[in-house]
């Protein structure tokens, strides 16, 4: 088959995570990267998956309800009061 056409776009989008995780076998990886070189749609798709992962990584903070935080902080103070630091 022609270089870059050994994998279809609808197949490629299903193995993007395997590609990003580095778990594709050598042959599939070669077909994947050859396809990316000539397919703007797939190139964009893969890039957007990377961006999605990156934005998801910014969600770690700022989502805790204040009452939950207060409860946990109260528990921490209780623990602290009942313990001898570093003893």
Partner 1 sequence: MGLTDPDANAGPTSATRRRGRPWTRRVTYPRGAVGDGNTPHRTGTRAIGVATRLARLTPMSAGRRQAEHRSARFRFVEVRQSTPAGSAPDAADARLVQALRDGDESTFTELVERLTPTMLAVAVGYVPSRTVAEEVVQETWLAVLTGLDRFEGRSSLRTWVFGILLNVARSRGVRERRSVPFSSAFPEDETGPTVDPGRFRPRGDEWPGHWATPPRQWDLPEAALLSREVRTRLRAALDVLPPRQRTVVHLRDVQGLDADEVCALLGIEPGNQRVLLHRGRARLRQVLEDYMDEARA
Nearer to partner 1, 33 or 44 (CB): 44
Residues in contact with partner 1, shown as a per-residue x/- string from 19 to 58 under the rule CB under 8 A? --xxx---------------xxxx-xx-xxx-xxx-xxxx
Question: How many angstroms separate the Cα of 12 from the Cα of each of 17, 23, 41, 78?
Answer: 10, 14, 11, 54
Which of 4, 6, 18, 30 is the binder for partner 1 (CB under 8 A)?
18
CB of 11 to partner 1, least distance (A): 7
Q: Taking the alpha carbons of 36, 2, 14, 19 in that order, is the dihedral positive or negative?
A: negative
């Amino acid at each position: 088959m022609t270089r870059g056409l050994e994998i279809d776009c609808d197949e490629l989008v299903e193995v993007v995570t395997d590609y990003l995780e580095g778990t594709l076998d050598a042959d599939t990886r070669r077909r994947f990267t050859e396809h990316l070189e000539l397919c703007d749609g797939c190139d964009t798709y893969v890039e957007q998956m990377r961006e999605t992962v990156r934005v998801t990584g910014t969600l770690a903070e700022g989502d805790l309800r204040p009452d939950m935080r207060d409860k946990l902080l109260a528990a921490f103070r209780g623990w602290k009061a009942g313990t001898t630091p570093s003893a």
